[in-house]
Amino acid sequence: MTKSLLEELPQIVREGRQQAERILESLEGRHRVRLQTREWVLPSKDLSAADWIAQAHRSARLGDIRQDAWANRLIYGDNLHAMAALLAGDEETPSLRGKVDLIYIDPPFDSKADYRTKVQLPGVEIEQRPTVIEQFAYSDTWSEGTASYLRMIVPRLVLMRELLADTGSIYVHVDPTVGHYVKIVLDEIFGKQFFEREIIWRIGWISGYKSAASNWIRNHDTIFYYTKTSDSTFNKQYIPYAEDYVRRDGKKPEGAGYPIEDTWNCSEMDRLDSIQIMSFSKEKVGYDTQKNENLLHRIITAATNENAIVADFFGGSGTTAAVAEKLGRRWITSDIGKPACMIMRKRLIDQDATPFLCQAIGDYHVEAAKTHFGRNFRVGDLSAIVLSLYGAQPLQPEDNPLRNLGAITFGGTKTLVLVDSPNKLVGDATLRKAIAQRDTLLGGWDRVVVLGWNFEPAIGQSIAALNDDRLEVLVIPPDLLDRLRKKGGIEKLRGQVRFSSLQYVTIKPVRRSKAEDDQERITVVLDNYVLLSPEAINLDEDNRAKLLKVANAEPLALIEYWAVDPDYDGQVFRSVWQDYRGNTANDDDALRVVERADFGVPRRQGERRVCVRVVDVFGFEAEVVQTVAEPDA
């Protein structure tokens, strides 16, 4: 007889706790999860305004990020790994265990939701299906109904409790589909004695449920409010009295207003806009499950004081980070979806946020492999799978101690295949090593193919500089492990895995010119962008044809965001100028970025290493660096 969900619940909670405990036990190990800093963003979006970078009160921000006591963070990747990294700490930031003042989460809970991304390009709209990684976070959350949803959320809630300060609180936003089960889980993890309120958020008159409902109209969500201890921060909130309001005795009331109750409405008195941001709202950023800023303003103001740390591990449209920024709170936000992370970055730049870090899970593929193979996973196990799926036979152990080399012999041509480690970035050193092995190993080979998981942003420049037509570099599908898990074995995947060529960007020669007041100007002009093989993007044939048409006719229209670092150190990209689709401060075209950047920076002697980084509409990155001589006097 099949167990009911209530019967399964104790085991789900127990297994989730055990998963979280294994993560906590590994935090001190050599291979603990770490965050890679991809970009240090100094928001600047308007070329017509005074040069942002020249403003004296912000120029110091160009220094080493390690000198800063705190940096707000936007993290791309699985939030389970992100929280593990925050708990572990690193050389730049100590562990945040017991340091976070407020956590608000709005995890996906609509089993019928379609999380496809619609990309509007000039003259055409493309619909991208989610990657398998994103499906794991969204649609696969419901592969076994509510039980699989709870298996996803339990270990994450355990880690959230570890991050919370003793005076901290958590607000968990759910709907009636899962709310009662989540309440039981929260009671188990945080303790029933620390349950504070069930808040009813009335969605309002704009509701997509009304036309489809066959009985009572659904018009609310639920927010569960828990604290970590009995000594939590809470600032009582009030709705101010109307200016013309008088009591029955004719006197004007004293005090801050009406104390806010646990039912939050969309009335004129208690204005909280709809769950779906209205089409005419200035807040709307084009994200399906976007929440309005008034809602987060109320929660953050009540639960924290200025300079507190606010976290949202299902970042979505970025409302939590945007409001925390406006209220003078520090923030951390993360999401596993690339579209969400791109929307959040643009939104924060748009509101002139203080500088913040864009980070990613450094060992995502290693962690995913451990999940699939178990904790005894070895990198060589994964390399052997990749070689097999590419169609290569492994070399003999004496010639292949790392188990990452294979061979393909076809039509009289011998090809050496090298699979790089998932916890490394393929760069110039890897390519030179591959070429050396091609030329010397076992008497030499006709060609060498390098298969990589992760790449240094300047990999395209390295390939061009080597100019070796017997070298090929291909991308291992980032969702390979998830596909392997879903298919149930390597044989079922054989013939279905496509290894794609890399994307890259080119720019015209960068110009430096002297200006007044110890300033100089940097001028950068985009030249071309070549997209990752369209076969690697999750599109159907019709949408792929639309994409190829745009890519051939107007390749720069595929750029979603680009930024410039005028003094790149080869490690951390410090973005001092940005443009992005939707930014109309520089032109009136919301579907294209401007192709030219011209901005002022403090003058410096000698050469500058100017780096340009682009992100395309699908979230893939490319980078190019030019060394530019000092301008003549």
Its pTM stands at 0.81
Same domain for 342 and 482, yes or no, is no
Of 335, 362, 389, the last residue of a domain is 362
DSSP 251-284: PPPPSS-EEP-SEE-BSSSSB---SS--TT-TT-
3-class SS at 552? helix
Q: What is the pLDDT of residues 389-425, one digit of tens each?
A: 899 999 999 999 988 999 999 888 999 999 988 777 7
- In the prediction, which pLDDT does 266 show? 62
Position with higher pLDDT, 172 vs 403 = 172
Beta bridge pairs of residue 199: 223
Q: Is a pLDDT exceeding 80 seen at residue 135?
A: no
The answer to the question of residue 288 being in a domain is yes
Range of the structural domain that residue 194 is part of: 5-49+67-210+217-234+265-362
The answer to the question of residue 633 being in a domain is no
Same domain for 339 and 416, yes or no, is no
Same domain for 474 and 454, yes or no, is yes
**CA nearest 560: which of 381, 349, 255, 384?**
349
CATH number at residue 469: 3.40.1350
- In the prediction, which pLDDT does 11 show? 93
Helix (H) or strand (E) holding 330: strand 330-335
Instruction: Work out the average pLDDT over 375-395.
Output: 82
Q: What is the pLDDT of residues 191-236, one digit of tens each?
A: 999 999 999 988 765 444 455 567 887 778 899 999 999 999 999 9
- In the prediction, which pLDDT does 296 show? 93
**CA nearest 403: which of 389, 422, 383, 386?**
383
DSSP 396-449: PGGG-TTS-EEEEEETTEEEEEEEPPTTSEE-HHHHHHHHHHHHHGGG--SEEE
- In the prediction, which pLDDT does 140 show? 45
- In the prediction, which pLDDT does 227 show? 98
CA distance 84 to 94: 13
How confident is residue 282, by pLDDT bands cut at 50, 70 and 90? Answer: low
CA distance 153 to 261: 28
The answer to the question of residue 296 being in a domain is yes
CA distance 223 to 511: 54
**Worst-scoring range by mean pLDDT, 147-161, 168-182, 250-264?**
250-264
Q: Is a pLDDT exceeding 60 seen at residue 476?
A: yes
The answer to the question of residue 522 being in a domain is yes
- In the prediction, which pLDDT does 564 show? 93
Same domain for 298 and 186, yes or no, is yes
- In the prediction, which pLDDT does 29 show? 66
The answer to the question of residue 539 being in a domain is no
State how far Cα 57 lies from the chain centre: 30
Position with higher pLDDT, 4 vs 191 = 191
- In the prediction, which pLDDT does 455 show? 81
- In the prediction, which pLDDT does 407 show? 95
Q: What is the pLDDT of residues 101-111, one digit of tens each?
A: 999 999 876 44
φ, ψ (nearest 5 deg) of residue 432 = -65, -40
The answer to the question of residue 251 being in a domain is no
CA distance 427 to 17: 39
3-class SS at 66? helix
**Residue 452: how many CA atoms within 13 Å on its side-chain side?**
20
CA distance 356 to 340: 16
- In the prediction, which pLDDT does 70 show? 87
Residue type, 479: D
Tell me how many domains the chain contains.
3
**Residue 355: how many CA atoms within 13 Å on its side-chain side?**
24
Same domain for 321 and 393, yes or no, is no
**Worst-scoring range by mean pLDDT, 369-378, 429-438, 535-544?**
369-378
CATH number at residue 513: 2.60.40
Of 322, 339, 362, the last residue of a domain is 362
Same domain for 485 and 516, yes or no, is no
DSSP letter assigned to residue 522:
E
Instruction: Work out the average pLDDT over 60-88.
Output: 76
Position with higher pLDDT, 516 vs 598 = 598
Q: What is the pLDDT of residues 240-269, one digit of tens each?
A: 888 888 888 888 888 888 898 898 876 545
Same domain for 325 and 455, yes or no, is no
Same domain for 444 and 354, yes or no, is no
Of 362, 396, 417, the last residue of a domain is 362
Same domain for 479 and 611, yes or no, is no
Question: What is the chain's mean pLDDT, rounded?
Answer: 82
The sign of the dihedral angle between the CA atoms of 372, 373, 374, 379 is: negative
The answer to the question of residue 62 being in a domain is no
Q: Which residue has the tokens 């895995």?
A: 497
DSSP letter assigned to residue 571:
S
Same domain for 516 and 494, yes or no, is no
- In the prediction, which pLDDT does 205 show? 53
**CA nearest 346: which of 45, 5, 7, 88?**
45
- In the prediction, which pLDDT does 93 show? 77
The answer to the question of residue 283 being in a domain is yes
How confident is residue 50, by pLDDT bands cut at 50, 70 and 90? Answer: very low
Q: Is a pLDDT exceeding 50 seen at residue 67?
A: no
Same domain for 42 and 154, yes or no, is yes
Q: Is a pLDDT exceeding 60 seen at residue 115?
A: no
Same domain for 453 and 335, yes or no, is no
